[in-house]
Amino acid sequence: MFNSLKAQAPDKILALMGQYRADPRPEKVDLGVGVYKNADGLTPVMRAIKTAEKQLWEAETSKSYTALAGEPAFHAAMAEMVLGADYPADRLACLATVGGTGACRQAFELARMANPDMTVWVSNPTWPNHLSILAFMKQEYKLYRYFDNDARAVAFDTMMEDLQAVKAGDVVLLHGCCHNPTGANLTLEQWGAVADLLEAKGAVPMIDLAYQGFGDGLEDDAAGTRLIASRLPEVMIAASCSKNFGIYRERTGCLMVLSDAASKDVTQGTLAYLNRQNYSFAPDHGARLVTMVLTDATLKADWMAELEEVRNGMLGLREQLAAELRQLSNSDRFDFLARHRGMFSRLGASPEAVEKMRVDNAIYMVGDSRLNIAGLNTKTVPLLARAIIDAGV
């Protein structure tokens, strides 16, 4: 029967990783996959995580199963980080998931169980896995325009125009911060206007929060999510711990669902049911480390300090790249790089220009001209700036 299988298109971002590894040129620069790298090109285990792992190794006496929905202590720690200490516990159901991706998948599944007729609205562009998962699920989705390619900024009026067609019970997927792949984000005022619109339409916001702490800081990056959560009766939040705790391969995430208090228990039970149907228990190790870091004052302070170092490092590279390009282009047309937030910016280069930079300069970025700022260091920034100009961008 397996000879009936058709070849699936590979994940373009992951395929680029393979292409980069196979390139023998020593000067090569990897601006592809969204993984944080320090100035030496390494993705270190964060200090607080390393310490927590040591403590856990000493204290852990069993690796027996935990709760199907994950540990309540993990739920509480994540809810506090994402929603703030005054989160509405009486309306909140939580699920430990397999990374932020698992949280997205379970959110789509939950929404479909509640409303089989819903449409999911997704920004154009978005993280390609949103679309591939929705297509695999045969879940109907529609795109809303999000990015102004000329201004390299959010096309807010156009976005709101498209979202006028949202129906009651539809799900509107928003990136909580550090939009992937564009790096262009909503202002708090715009979040407010989105909340007004979704409230009027009776739609359910779903926030994908994969980079909290990578943009303007842990609190500011959650501001849009918190505004939505304070305004809308029903909200889904898919939070990833991969980037901000640097535990990519541990597969740690959390789906949070706000409903009315009377629906909370059934919602919580349905979340556990969804884990059971798909993979039973979610991985525990990363969730336990995150809980330890967030609930121990010393570990938390060290983690926050390191996360700030990471964030400020990326901001510095953004400033440097924008300044370099201002000089080389004798214009301010690349200033958007300093305005964008998070790991990514979409440069707005043609596929040919992206290919030219790969061939001529061994610079690897995703085909849509998304670049990972963390793949740079102070020495490679001028090389990238030169290559961008030489490619005619």
Residues that bind ligand PLP (CB under 6 A): 34, 99-101, 127, 175, 180, 208, 210, 240, 242, 248, 253
Question: Of 194 and 387, which has the nearer Cβ to ligand PLP?
Answer: 194
Q: Which of 127, 221, 303, 374 is catalytic?
A: 127
- Taking the least distance from each CB to ligand TYF, the nearer of 16 and 229 is 16
Give the side-chain half-sphere CA count within 13 A for 356. Answer: 14
Q: Which is nearer to ligand PLP, 282 or 337 (CB)?
A: 282
Contact of residue 100 among ligand PLP, ligand TYF, none (CB under 5-8 Å per partner type): ligand PLP
Is residue 19 part of the contact set for ligand TYF (CB under 6 A)?
Answer: no
Q: With both helix axes pointing from N to C terminus, report the angle between 264-278 and 99-114 in degrees, rounded to the nearest 10.
A: 120
Q: Which of 30, 170, 208, 221 is catalytic?
A: 208
Question: 267-298: string of b/e by CB count within 10 Å (b at 16+)?
Answer: bbebbbbbbeeeeebbbbebbbbbbbbbebee
- 11 near ligand TYF (CB under 6 A): yes
Touching ligand TYF, residues 127-146 (CB under 6 A):
127, 129
In sequence order, what DSSP letters do the residues of 196-229 get, joined into one string?
HHHHHHT-EEEEEE--TTSSS-HHHHTHHHHHHH
Residues 6+ apart with CB under 8 A from 104: 129, 130, 133, 206, 208, 238
127 as an active site residue: the answer is yes
How far apart CA 156 and CA 149 sit, in angstroms, is 12
Catalytic site residue 208? yes
Please give the size of the binding site for ligand TYF, defined by CB under 6 A. 8
Q: Are 223 and 188 in contact (CB under 8 A)?
A: yes
Residue 175 vs 346, nearer CB to ligand PLP:
175
Q: Considering the complex, what minimum distance in angstroms separates the CB of residue 123 from ligand PLP?
A: 10
Say how many residues make up the chain.
393
Contacting residue, 10, 14, 319, 360, with ligand TYF by CB under 6 A: 14
Interface residue with ligand TYF, options 31, 34, 146, 257 (CB under 6 A): 34
Q: List the single partner that 99 binds among ligand PLP, ligand TYF, none, CB under 5 to 8 Å by kind.
A: ligand PLP
CB of 94 to ligand PLP, least distance (A): 16
Choose the catalytic residue: 52, 103, 203, 210: 210
Active-site residue, 243 included: yes
| Closest C-alpha to 133, from 124, 144, 145, 141 | 141
> Rounded to whole angstroms, what are the CA distances from 191 to 62, 86, 229?
44, 20, 11
Least spacing, CB of residue 50 vs ligand PLP, in Å: 20
* Residue 343: CB minimum distance to ligand TYF, A: 8
Q: Least distance to ligand PLP from the beta carbon of 197, Å?
A: 22
Torsion (CA) 97, 99, 249, 73 in degrees, nearest 10: -50
Interior CA angle at 210 toward 119 and 176, to 5°?
60
Which of ligand PLP, ligand TYF, none sits in contact with 362, Cβ below 5 to 8 A by type?
none
37 token code pair: 């790298």
Q: Which of 243, 322, 353, 385 is catalytic?
A: 243
| Binding positions for ligand TYF, 104-123, rule CB under 6 A | none
- For 154, residues 6+ apart whose C-beta sits below 8 A from its C-beta are 146, 147, 148, 182, 184, 185, 186, 190
Distance CA 173, CA 151 (A): 23
CB of 157 to ligand PLP, least distance (A): 24
| Catalytic site positions | 127, 208, 210, 243
Binding site for ligand TYF (CB under 6 A): 11, 13-14, 33-34, 127, 129, 180
